[in-house]
């Protein structure tokens, strides 16, 4: 049997405790590569827990490459975890740590509530590293040269298949262009499809890097307000004759989280058809919808080729991957490819074939499903904190999707400070509270924080909320902010 001990009264779920302890046994070399583990039924009986607990822990360990199951034989420590690798991991994570300290890797960014990164601690790096290794032991000449500036053909085919299934886009691999990020995608669209000085409408508030990129490319930016139904394009009807493109996040607006209503989607499509304008759909973190199926993409309504769809792997995998994509209507493929070929691609080919294999294996879709469940619980934890220690200072409506919550200042706090000032004080206390006003190009209509929850477990969220509450109390003169130690 396994040398594990679970604490039924502990803060962490029993399945998480079991997962971490078995992983530690593998990393420390106490469970050897190829060693057989007890069955989930036998282990559940030994530990006095439900079989669901042991099945979920084994499934997580198998998905991350620590274990493998063999039909009719049982579950084994993965033979691919060689002794040298285990010694290195053990030395790095466990050899010098105090007894009982978790081997969970440190968070890649500093503190709650940084909205920029997903939780990479649950990413199946073992599977990902094997895919990379297989491709780069003997890469083909086409991979070494990066023959197609639009990206690796297999990856483009997998992206198209993923979007057909998840987002209802009837697209082909030929329509997909792999880029290094949404910023590069926007710049490429401007250079290939918009004349110098063209007017581009953006959401107000909106994603700051998008507007900065468009402005740097020489376009004139027209901010358009957003309400509960999304972009209010009709609000500037007398002026929008000069608009040549609209950048919109219809599935989930950044930062407010609103969904563009069907009537406004259809109105945008009608405008594009009537004027020949472009609709640039930024499908921001649509994978993480916690109730119901993901909404159909705006591009799925387009019948005349006026919508360009933008997506990214940064929120689903990790930021340093630096891979994103665009889906072009057929009539726009040639000018974009010509511009890309003339300038040269910015997206590295190194991870692209491995990512194609990762998606084809089903691991990518499984990771999204796992993280969707995890993030749903973390969103509930943050909303509970906003209804608890933070309720005197902030308020936020419950949302159905995403990786952050936008919390608005209550009147008393708004009368005493700005979100930028409060954000600076929070930073001194080790808390990342991104100011909402930074998302406005014009005078901000509201002050608040963009609070990420995806990268932090429930305990970290509760601790961060308590520290932020003290900071905000200090802003009101009701107390002295207490610094919280960075983890």
204-216 as b/e: b if 16+ CB within 10 A: bbbbeebbebbee
Does residue 102 or residue 180 have the better pLDDT?
180
- Write down the pLDDT at residue 4: 79
Could you say which of 1.10.167.10, 1.10.10.10, 3.30.365.10, 1.10.3720.10 is the CATH number of the domain covering 14-93?
A: 1.10.10.10
Fold of 368-475: 3.90.1150
**Triad 204, 207, 210: Cα angle to 5°:** 105
Q: Chain-wide mean pLDDT for the chain?
A: 85
DSSP 294: P
Angstrom distance (rounded) from CA 182 to CA 55: 39
- Write down the pLDDT at residue 25: 84
Burial grade of 157 (CB within 10 A; 0-12, 13-18, 19 or more): middle
> How many other β-carbons are positioned within 10 Å of the β-carbon of residue 260?
24
Condensed to tens digits (0 to 9), the pLDDT of residues 62-73 reads: 877 788 888 888
Selection from 82-96, 103-117, 353-367 with the highest mean pLDDT: 353-367
Could you say which of 1.10.645.10, 3.40.640.10, 3.30.930.10, 3.30.465.10 is the CATH number of the domain covering 147-348?
A: 3.40.640.10
**Sheet with 394-395, side-by-side order of all strands:** 394-395, 404-409, 448-452, 434-435
Nearest to 410 by CA among 386, 385, 430, 431: 386
Condensed to tens digits (0 to 9), the pLDDT of residues 104-149 reads: 333 444 578 998 878 888 888 888 988 888 888 888 777 777 778 9
Specify whether the CB–CB gap between 117 and 455 falls below 8 A. Answer: yes
The stretch 368-380 carries a mean pLDDT of 91
End-to-end Cα distance, the chain = 34
This prediction has a pTM of 0.75
Confidence band for 482, pLDDT divided at 50, 70 and 90: very low
The stretch 16-31 carries a mean pLDDT of 83
Domain ranges in the chain are: 14-93, 147-348, 368-475
Lowest mean per-residue pLDDT among 118-122, 391-395, 464-468, 478-482: 478-482
Torsion on CA atoms 59, 61, 66, 72, rounded to nearest 10: -20
The stretch 386-414 carries a mean pLDDT of 92
DSSP, residue by residue, 66-84: SEEEETTTEEEE-TTS-HH
Confidence band for 206, pLDDT divided at 50, 70 and 90: very high
- Write down the pLDDT at residue 106: 39
Q: Helix, strand or coil for residue 223?
A: strand
Confidence band for 474, pLDDT divided at 50, 70 and 90: very high
């Amino acid at each position: 049997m396994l040398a594990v001990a679970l604490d039924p009264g502990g803060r962490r779920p029993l399945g998480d405790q079991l997962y971490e302890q078995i992983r530690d046994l593998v990393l420390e070399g106490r469970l050897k590569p190829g060693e057989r583990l007890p069955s989930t039924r036998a282990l559940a009986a030994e530990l006095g827990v439900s079989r669901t607990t042991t099945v979920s822990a084994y499934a997580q360990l198998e998905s991350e490459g620590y274990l493998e199951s063999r039909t009719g034989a049982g579950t084994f420590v993965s033979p691919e975890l060689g002794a040298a690798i285990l010694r290195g991991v053990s030395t790095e994570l466990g050899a010098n740590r105090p007894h009982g300290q978790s081997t969970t890797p440190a968070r890649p960014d500093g503190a709650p509530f940084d909205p920029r990164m997903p939780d990479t601690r649950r990413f199946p790096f073992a599977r990902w590293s094997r895919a990379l290794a297989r491709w780069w032991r003997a890469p083909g000449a086409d991979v070494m040269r990066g023959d197609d500036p639009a990206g690796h053909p297999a990856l483009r085919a997998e992206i198209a298949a993923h979007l057909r299934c998840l987002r209802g886009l009837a697209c082909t691999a030929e329509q997909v262009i792999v880029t290094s990020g949404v910023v590069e995608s926007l710049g490429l669209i401007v250079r290939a499809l918009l004349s110098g000085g063209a007017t581009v409408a953006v959401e107000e508030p909106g994603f700051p890097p998008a507007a900065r990129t468009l402005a740097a490319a020489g376009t004139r930016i027209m901010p358009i307000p957003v309400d509960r139904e999304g972009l209010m394009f009709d609000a500037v009807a007398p002026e929008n004759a000069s608009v040549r493109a609209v950048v919109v996040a219809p599935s989930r607006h950044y930062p407010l989280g609103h969904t563009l209503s069907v009537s406004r989607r259809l109105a945008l499509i009608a405008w594009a058809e009537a004027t020949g304008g472009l609709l640039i759909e930024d499908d921001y973190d649509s994978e993480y919808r916690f109730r119901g199926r993901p909404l159909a993409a705006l591009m799925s309504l387009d019948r005349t080729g006026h919508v360009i769809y933008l997506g990214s792997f940064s929120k689903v995998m990790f930021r340093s991957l630096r891979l994103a994509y665009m889906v072009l209507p057929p009539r726009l493929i040639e000018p974009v490819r010509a511009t890309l070929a003339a300038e040269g691609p910015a997206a590295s080919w190194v991870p692209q074939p491995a990512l194609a294999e990762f998606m084809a294996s089903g691991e990518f879709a499984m990771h999204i499903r796992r993280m969707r469940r995890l993030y749903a619980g973390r969103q509930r934890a943050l909303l509970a904190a906003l209804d608890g220690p933070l309720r005197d200072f902030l308020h936020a409506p419950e949302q159905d999707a995403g990786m952050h919550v936008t919390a608005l200042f209550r009147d008393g706090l708004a009368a005493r400070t700005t979100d930028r000032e409060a954000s600076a004080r929070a930073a001194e206390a080790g808390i990342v509270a991104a100011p909402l006003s930074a998302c406005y190009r014009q005078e901000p209509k509201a002050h608040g924080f963009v609070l990420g929850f995806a990268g932090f477990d429930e305990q970290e969220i509760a601790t961060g909320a308590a520290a932020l509450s003290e900071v905000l109390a200090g802003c009101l003169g009701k107390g002295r902010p207490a610094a919280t130690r960075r983890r």
